[in-house]
């Protein structure tokens, strides 16, 4: 398959995930192109069977460059789409507070992929997300407005600053492999 992995990354978190996916897919014989969103126009994607679009999470949604890219994809393209994001919040798999914070601060990412895919008749296959270390300004904002309890903050910032880690990269590789295996480009 011809696969494009296009991504937006400011801190290299999303870039690391994109590179791990590219390595996995290339190792399985796919022709893979890895490109920043600034390097390719959305209307030039028709030569691909599968497109992965990655983004940092900004303001609870895809970062604007990735969101503009997604929204500029022409209607009913000939390829399938999968999405991935990195974010500086909890994974949403823990208790109620972690799920609530994930939904509040990263939950729009998947919703945007689903909404645009439905509006544009883009076959959307799946979504991946993982934590990524925040830049100091974002960490300060999170501490000041979201995770204000000092004890919780100490545990949170220690954990999130370790990501994406090797486990995240492995989960990204597995995600990419599953999506490629499930892809059926002839029906896109």
Beta-sheet pairing, 80-87 with 31-36: unpaired
Low-confidence ranges of the chain (pLDDT < 50): none
- At 116 the pLDDT is 97
Contact residues for 94 (Cβ-Cβ < 8 A; gap 6+): none
CATH number at residue 21: 3.40.50.360
72 and 42 Cβ atoms separated by less than 8 Å: yes
Residue 114 located in a structural domain:
yes
Residue 47 located in a structural domain:
yes
Q: What is the Cβ-side half-sphere exposure of residue 187, based on CA atoms within 13 angstroms?
A: 6
Mean pLDDT of the chain: 94
Residue 53 located in a structural domain:
yes
Total number of domains constituting the chain: 1
Q: The tokens of 141 are what?
A: 């904002």
Q: The tokens of 14 are what?
A: 């999303």
pTM (whole model) above 0.85: yes
Give the residue among 132, 142, 137, 139 at the shortest CA–CA distance from 164. 132
For residue 173, give its domain range.
Answer: 2-134+164-187
- At 95 the pLDDT is 84
Residue 143 located in a structural domain:
no
């Amino acid at each position: 398959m011809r696969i494009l992995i296009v991504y937006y990354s400011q801190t290299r978190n999303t870039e690391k995930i994109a590179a791990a996916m590219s390595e996995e897919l290339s190792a399985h014989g796919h022709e893979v192109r890895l490109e920043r969103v600034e390097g390719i126009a959305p209307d030039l994607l028709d030569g691909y069977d599968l497109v992965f679009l990655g983004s940092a999470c900004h303001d609870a949604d895809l970062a604007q460059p990735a969101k503009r890219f997604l929204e500029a994809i022409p209607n009913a393209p000939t390829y399938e789409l999968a999405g991935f994001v990195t974010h500086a919040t909890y994974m949403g798999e823990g208790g109620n507070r972690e799920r609530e914070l994930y939904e509040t601060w990263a939950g729009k990412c998947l919703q945007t992929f689903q909404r645009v895919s439905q509006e544009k008749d883009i076959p959307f296959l799946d979504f991946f997300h993982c934590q990524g270390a925040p830049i100091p300004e974002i960490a300060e904002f999170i501490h000041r407005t979201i995770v204000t309890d000092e004890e919780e903050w100490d545990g949170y910032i220690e954990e999130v600053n370790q990501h994406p880690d090797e486990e995240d990269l492995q989960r990204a590789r597995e995600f990419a492999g599953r999506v490629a295996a499930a892809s059926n480009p002839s029906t896109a």
